[in-house]
A and B are shown apart, each in its own frame.
Chain A
Amino acid sequence: MQLVLEKRAERSNTIALVSPLIAIGLTIVTMVILFAILGKNPLLALHAYFIAPLTDGYSLQEIAVKATPLVMIAIGLSLCYLANAWNIGAEGQFLIGAVAGSWIAVKTQGTDVGAWVLPVMLVLAAAAGALYALIPAICKVKFGASEILTSLMLVYVADLFLDYLVRGPWRDPHGFNFPTTAEFDPVATVPLLIEGGRLHLGSIIALLVVAAAAILLGRTIKGFEIRVVGAAPRAARFGGFNANQLIILTFAVSGALAGLAGIIEVAGPVGHLQPGISPGYGFTAIIVAFLGRLNPLGILIAGLFLALTFIGGEQAQIAMKIPLDVTKVFQGILLFYVLACDSLILYRFRLVFPNRQVTRGAG
């Protein structure tokens, strides 16, 4: 018995739409098995993961807060992936953005400055993220160095740089020796949308980013170029599209968005710069991008879903003592199923039995 792939004459649009749903279904089935192996009641666990967080206002806000960086980063990554540029260092660009924006917040701390601080922080963070992403992009375009490896190596460098700053020059002198900066001044923090709640302005910015990406991809020549270069590099060359230029552009945009997400996270929900500001947002965003089928609206939905798994994971840990790493396993399995189901768009799977193969060959 052998699994055989047959190329479809044209991509199946039906499957393109339902494949993420099939993937989620298969992931949940796999999780039920995993919960059973861990000796937890699968139904209660599923409830804790997927239902409980949706039942109260606080958790709903928390989902939006978690989805904000995921969606912003994933939108940028989707532009890269559509253009066949493999930026997987968004985590580093996120951290560098957080650092660059925090710089102003730390330097102006306690001084009576105006409301210009926050906008400058956002701009600086986006610029720093873009510049940091340009390192692998330029190494790729100029020297042919694998952007996958260089962008990833820079994640570790960014992580260590942040660590150095909060343990060294930027450490809060009143912080009981914890590696953290002081809490940002109110003018240097992202305003809340609901008084006393958790939802902040960053979520609005994320929605604007989604809308902008939808317009870019659906309504502009640049967006068309990005999609053609990724889908049909040869055709793109005949069309006179410059693939290298698009690598630079998509990396810069994706780095800027990751950097922006970084400062929004630090100046918003976290409130100060410290190590561990990201539970792997830059990597989870890769899953969000693929689960959302590299489509802005899809990414918005996928981002909310992945945020749900983060919050659900926390609830499951508190309520049922399910280890937090289960959430990461869950996300990894989900990505596998998403990719496997994507294969169905281009291919038809068939099981072939050797004896039947012979008769087929004769005919």
Chain B
Amino acid sequence: MELVEAIILSVLAASTPLLIAATGELVTEHSGVLNLGVEGMMIVGAACGFAGAWLTGSIFIGALFGIVAGTLMSLIFALMALGLAVNQVATGLALTILGVGLSGLIGAGFVGERIAPAVHLAIPGLTDIPLIGRVLFGEDAFVYFSIALIIGVWWFLYRTRAGLILRACGDNHVSAHALGYPVLRIRTFAVMFGGACAGLAGAYLPLAYTPFFIPGMTAGRGWIALALVVFSSWRPGRLVVGAYLFGAVTILQLHAQGWGVGIPSQFMSALPYLATVIVLVLLSRARTGGSTAPAALGTVFVPDR
């Protein structure tokens, strides 16, 4: 029983950064922008998040540092891809390359330092309920926030006028522009939201997942988040399912090592990446009847005045 509970708890913890980063990218892509720099924004968020928490002793301020860092990174992307109409794929790659360097530079002074990780919720009575108590009422604040975030995003995209306009920009920027909507401004906000989420997701790693910072600690999670958006067919509900599935695969490989399965640890560690490839192939194959991606995704838009 306790093992099951421990596994569920660790799956939730492993899924949360994926869910937060993928939610941000979902909004960005719905506006028609493909930001491949998620990994770069995440890794800078991790370094700045840890720095913030270490300097102030507050996990909350650490998380804010992560959000601000991710947003600033995304502004560089917005300036390039939206302001200067540079190819989005190349700009996203550049953002990741820059992010890895910046993260190493910012984090260099903090390697080996430790902080007290984010506390878990504890409600006397409720949290003590066997099995479900800790799973439902004993998580850290990030886990609850990630669920609130995806519900909020679903509501925004499909239940508000602003969400409809944002999706219109992603499906047909020319029409949206003709109707008088400021396509580039809307996209900039969507990119910034994606950056904020990626920064927070990165900050989650040293603030709650492990209590220390190591260079390169995102280990491709930003790229997996990008794949999750494809996996979800750009739908928030499926994004949650996908994030938890991937979290489960990540934890599975950790536990398989503990159970003494006779497979070298490196092969188990490769599982999440291989799973991503397989999922991408299966999903793309299933979707032969026409893509569900926003129609204008990744295309450059220069308003013709």
Does B269 lie at the interface of the complex (its beta carbon under 8 Å from any beta carbon of A)? yes
Does B141 lie at the interface of the complex (its beta carbon under 8 Å from any beta carbon of A)? no
Chain B positions within 8 Å of A142 at CB level: 285
Known pairs A150-B277, A336-B94, A346-B85. 17 more at Cβ < 8 A? A88-B93, A139-B281, A143-B284, A145-B284, A149-B276, A150-B281, A153-B223, A153-B277, A160-B266, A161-B270, A286-B97, A326-B105, A329-B105, A331-B101, A332-B95, A332-B98, A339-B94
Judging by beta carbons under 8 Å apart, are A160 and B94 in contact? Answer: no
Chain A positions within 8 Å of B226 at CB level: 149
- Segment touching A, from B7-15, B76-84, B142-150, B236-244: B76-84
Chain A positions within 8 Å of B227 at CB level: 146, 149, 153
Q: Which 6 pairs show the lowest CB-CB distances between chains A and B?
A: A332-B98, A328-B101, A325-B104, A329-B101, A164-B266, A335-B94
Chain B positions within 8 Å of A144 at CB level: 284-285, 287-288, 291
- Inter-chain CA distance A100–B226, complex, in Å, is 30
Chain B positions within 8 Å of A324 at CB level: 104
Chain A min CB distance to B22 (Å): 13
CB interface residues, A 252-307, toward B, < 8 Å: 283-284, 286-287, 290
| Per-residue interface assignment for chain A, residues 154 to 181, with 1 indicating a CB less than 8 Å from any chain B CB and 0 otherwise | 1011001101100110000000000000
B267 contacts which of A88, A160, A325 (Cβ < 8 Å)? A160
Judging by beta carbons under 8 Å apart, are B285 and A156 in contact? Answer: no
Does A86 lie at the interface of the complex (its beta carbon under 8 Å from any beta carbon of B)? yes
Name, among A145, A146, A284, A347, the residue most crowded by chain B CB atoms within 10 Å (CB to CB).
Answer: A145
Chain A residues within CB distance 8 Å of chain B = 3-5, 7, 86, 88, 135, 139, 142-146, 148-150, 152-154, 156-157, 160-161, 163-164, 167-168, 283-284, 286-287, 290, 323-333, 335-336, 339-340, 342-343, 346-347, 349
- Inter-chain CA distance A139–B277, complex, in Å, is 9
Does B90 lie at the interface of the complex (its beta carbon under 8 Å from any beta carbon of A)? yes
Judging by beta carbons under 8 Å apart, are B89 and A86 in contact? Answer: yes
B97 contacts which of A139, A157, A328 (Cβ < 8 Å)? A328
Judging by beta carbons under 8 Å apart, are A323 and B105 in contact? Answer: yes
Chain A positions within 8 Å of B224 at CB level: 153
Does B230 lie at the interface of the complex (its beta carbon under 8 Å from any beta carbon of A)? yes
Interface of B, helix, strand, loop or mixed by DSSP = helix
Chain B min CB distance to A142 (Å): 8
Given that A144-B284, A153-B277 are known contacts, is A328 also in contact with B104, CB under 8 Å in the complex?
A: yes
Chain A min CB distance to B21 (Å): 14
| Per-residue interface assignment for chain B, residues 280 to 302, with 1 indicating a CB less than 8 Å from any chain A CB and 0 otherwise | 11011101100100000000001
Judging by beta carbons under 8 Å apart, are B220 and A153 in contact? Answer: yes
| Per-residue interface assignment for chain B, residues 56 to 100, with 1 indicating a CB less than 8 Å from any chain A CB and 0 otherwise | 000000000000000000001000100111110111011101111
Chain A positions within 8 Å of B281 at CB level: 139, 143, 145, 150
Name, among A168, A283, A324, A335, the residue most crowded by chain B CB atoms within 10 Å (CB to CB).
Answer: A335
- Inter-chain CA distance A277–B43, complex, in Å, is 23
Chain A positions within 8 Å of B36 at CB level: 148
Given that A160-B270, A325-B108 are known contacts, is A343 also in contact with B86, CB under 8 Å in the complex?
A: yes
Chain B positions within 8 Å of A325 at CB level: 101-102, 104-105, 108
Does B125 lie at the interface of the complex (its beta carbon under 8 Å from any beta carbon of A)? no
Judging by beta carbons under 8 Å apart, are A339 and B104 in contact? Answer: no
- Inter-chain CA distance A290–B226, complex, in Å, is 23
B80 contacts which of A4, A149, A152, A336 (Cβ < 8 Å)? A336
Judging by beta carbons under 8 Å apart, are A5 and B97 in contact? Answer: no
Write 16 A-B pairs (CB below 8 A) sorted by A numbering.
A86-B89, A135-B277, A143-B281, A144-B291, A145-B277, A145-B280, A146-B230, A148-B89, A149-B226, A157-B273, A164-B264, A164-B266, A329-B105, A332-B97, A335-B98, A339-B90
- Inter-chain CA distance A343–B90, complex, in Å, is 12
Chain A positions within 8 Å of B291 at CB level: 144
Chain B positions within 8 Å of A160 at CB level: 266-267, 269-270
B266 contacts which of A146, A163, A336 (Cβ < 8 Å)? A163
Does B305 lie at the interface of the complex (its beta carbon under 8 Å from any beta carbon of A)? yes
Chain A positions within 8 Å of B108 at CB level: 323, 325
Does B126 lie at the interface of the complex (its beta carbon under 8 Å from any beta carbon of A)? no
Judging by beta carbons under 8 Å apart, are B86 and A342 in contact? Answer: yes
Chain B positions within 8 Å of A339 at CB level: 80, 86-87, 90-91, 94
Judging by beta carbons under 8 Å apart, are A283 and B97 in contact? Answer: yes
A332 contacts which of B99, B274, B284, B305 (Cβ < 8 Å)? B99
- Inter-chain CA distance A186–B233, complex, in Å, is 54
Nearest-CB residue, chain A, relative to B100: A328
| Per-residue interface assignment for chain B, residues 221 to 257, with 1 indicating a CB less than 8 Å from any chain A CB and 0 otherwise | 0011011001000000000000000000000000000
Chain B positions within 8 Å of A336 at CB level: 76, 80, 91, 94, 98
CB interface residues, B 10-30, toward A, < 8 Å: none
Given that A161-B270, A323-B108 are known contacts, is A5 also in contact with B85, CB under 8 Å in the complex?
A: yes
Chain A min CB distance to B169 (Å): 18
